[in-house]
Structure 1
Amino acid sequence: MQFQFIFTIFSAVIALSTLVAASPNASSEGSSTNHLAKRKTYTGTATWYKPATEGGPHAACNGAYIDDYSRIVALNAEQYGNMNGKSKYCHKKIRIKGPKGSATATILDACPGCSYGDLDLTPVLFKKIVGDMNKGIGKIHWNFV
């Protein structure tokens, strides 16, 4: 009788520990959500600008210094958010793919005239991703890394 009681308690403890181990916790849900956000691909148009002469050498994100050779992008106004403040996307790395190739860049600026999904690239990035600067625009796909 006592053996049966101990066996029943032992079985209950095993069953409960299995349920606890299988339940999701907050940290695993958060990392799963971040992982899914990183996999989302945005589609848009790439344009180019020269920060030194068009918009100024200080980025919208904390006034960081940028130039025509910086591997940075200006994010479209809709995704950037408040154009008078720092976006939640400032300093985030993205991977951009276009007809000529792909590159990794950092969001440091804002593009008031760009539509959702669009990016304004520095010349060094535009040449690598789209190609000929005389085209002026190119279709792109990008995601957070």
Structure 2
Amino acid sequence: NLAFWVFLLVVCFLYGFYPNLWWLQLLYYMICIIAISLSLGLLFSAIMPFWPDIGQIITVIFQVLFWATPVMWNKDMLLTHPKYQYIIKLNPFAYIVNGFRDTLIEHIPFWHYYNQMIYFWLFVIMTYWLGNRSFNKLRPHFADVL
């Protein structure tokens, strides 16, 4: 993660974006990354010992989500296609990526897109709840399969 931050700072400096007060929002988006990683990690770690092939399915899903997240392309490219914008907004990782872009380049506060923020946190809470419930329910069986 430190390498990412150094790379991010170097690229921002090269393109003329210098640190300002808006950059404090990056802490919020880092918390978002930690929260979604924790919730998905808990869910998948509970399921993986029982269905080891699901790891390959998860890899494919994350590959699709990566290309459906505006990392290498700008979300404004879909302005003429509202139904695709809706699909992209369902991707919780798009909220984080757009948040980084909005913070560093556009200077838009994280609460500006409150509906996406609510959706993201509901997704994280539901995933965490499902992962926690699955983990606790399957915990007695871990010794049998591992």
By the TM > 0.5 criterion, same fold?
no
Structure with greater proportional strand content:
1
Larger Rg: 1
TM-score by length of 2: 0.23
Structure with greater proportional helix content:
2
Structure with more relative contact order (C-alpha pairs < 8 Å, separation 6 or more): 2
